[in-house]
């Protein structure tokens, strides 16, 4: 076993010790096939008012522009699936990924721990950690690393365990062994996600019009919610899980074991009335470590009022 093979195995073992479900490796290079897809998606204004998606076009397609001398993209999956549910079935709904602490903080800490371990055990490596916060096409790299395929709902699907995963990356100037194991697409003729989408945001297999997605409406959009969305948000006040909940592959999803992702009792026990009456002070206290901070109090109230009134 040469050094590259040894280092690849060591990093994979350490990543799993830190709680990552799986890890894959790709050679850092220009994503040639993704370039026209991204350009078309942007030109069709499917990013809505997410203007930041227009920035750093070249960097999104080439990680070597993010890290000098980059040789490898390490793609990692972290399970966030929860079998727990909000107790009041009439209460406004929250996406499973937002039940616990903000994943940006949790996973960035784990990635930094992994990067420190690499430097201590392999050498002085130049690298950066990315958790949904930089111009990098996470799903494309996960596919290249053999971690799954892109489903018709646009999510990465792992054949053994579904799609309830956070994707994150390390871009390193370290030569590692690429997996080169492109996963076979196993969606077949199934259209459950397309058929179930309340706002018909999945405009064709693997293509999601982000400007129509419930997650976009309830999180990304800062303006008033459009009246054409009235009655179509399916009682979601933060995010949406519909296209994943109906996916047959998610019957294999398992409860995550990350303590910081455990939902608070307050969140699960809140009734519809509690949400309607929530104050800014309560919001700041209950959700001080939650990704729900992103909407701020006024944004969450906007969403609640829109779906209830």
| pLDDT for res 1 | 66
Domain ranges across the chain: 3-85+93-172, 192-253+262-308
Q: Which of 88, 132, 234, 245 is catalytic?
A: 132
State the pTM of this model. Answer: 0.96
DSSP string, 115-160: HHHHHHHT----EEEESSSSS--HHHHHHHTTS-EE-TTS-EEBTT
Active site residue 132: yes
- Give the pLDDT of the chain (309 residues) as one tens digit per residue: 689 999 999 999 999 999 999 999 999 999 999 999 999 999 999 999 999 999 999 999 999 999 999 999 999 999 999 999 999 999 999 999 999 999 999 999 999 999 999 999 999 999 999 998 789 999 999 999 999 999 999 999 999 999 999 999 999 999 999 997 777 899 999 999 999 999 999 999 999 999 999 999 999 999 999 999 999 999 999 999 999 999 999 999 999 999 999 998 889 999 999 999 999 999 999 899 999 999 999 999 999 999 998
Angle between helices 3-17 and 103-121 (to 10 degrees): 140
2, 57, 132, 294 from 136: Cα distances, Å:
30, 9, 8, 21
| pLDDT for res 134 | 85
Residue labelled with tokens 């993209």: 73
Q: Are 216 and 263 in contact (CB under 8 A)?
A: no
Tokens of 208: 């999601």
| pLDDT for res 266 | 86
| CA–CA separation, 13 and 15 (whole Å) | 6
| CA–CA separation, 141 and 36 (whole Å) | 16
């Amino acid at each position: 076993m040469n050094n590259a093979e040894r280092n690849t195995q060591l990093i994979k073992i350490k990543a799993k010790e830190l709680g990552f479900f799986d890890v894959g490796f790709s050679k850092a290079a220009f994503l040639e096939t993704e370039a026209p897809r991204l350009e078309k998606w942007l030109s069709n204004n499917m990013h809505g008012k997410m203007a930041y998606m227009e920035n750093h076009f070249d960097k999104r397609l080439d990680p070597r522009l993010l890290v000098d001398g980059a040789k490898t993209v390490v793609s990692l999956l972290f399970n966030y699936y929860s079998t727990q549910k909000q107790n009041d079935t009439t209460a406004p709904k929250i996406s499973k990924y937002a039940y616990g602490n903000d994943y940006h903080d949790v996973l960035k800490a784990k990635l930094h721990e992994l990067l420190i371990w690499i430097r201590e055990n392999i050498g002085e490596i130049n690298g950066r950690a990315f958790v949904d916060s930089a111009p990098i096409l996470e799903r494309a790299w996960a596919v290249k690393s053999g971690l799954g395929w892109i489903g018709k709902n646009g999510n990465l699907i792992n054949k053994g365990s579904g799609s309830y995963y956070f994707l994150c990356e390390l871009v390193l100037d370290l030569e590692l062994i690429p997996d080169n194991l492109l996963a076979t697409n196993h969606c077949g003729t199934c259209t459950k996600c397309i058929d179930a989408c309340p706002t018909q945001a999945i405009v064709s297999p693997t293509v999601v019009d982000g400007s129509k997605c419930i997650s976009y409406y309830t999180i990304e959009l800062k303006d008033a919610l459009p009246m054409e969305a009235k009655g179509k948000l399916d009682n979601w006040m933060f995010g949406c899980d519909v296209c994943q909940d109906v996916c047959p592959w998610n019957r294999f999803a398992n409860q995550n074991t990350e303590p910081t992702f455990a939902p608070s009792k307050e969140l699960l026990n809140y009734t519809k009335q509690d949400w309607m009456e929530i104050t800014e002070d309560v919001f700041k206290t209950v959700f001080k470590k939650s990704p729900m901070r992103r909407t701020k109090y006024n944004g969450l109230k906007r969403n609640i009022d829109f779906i209830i009134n």
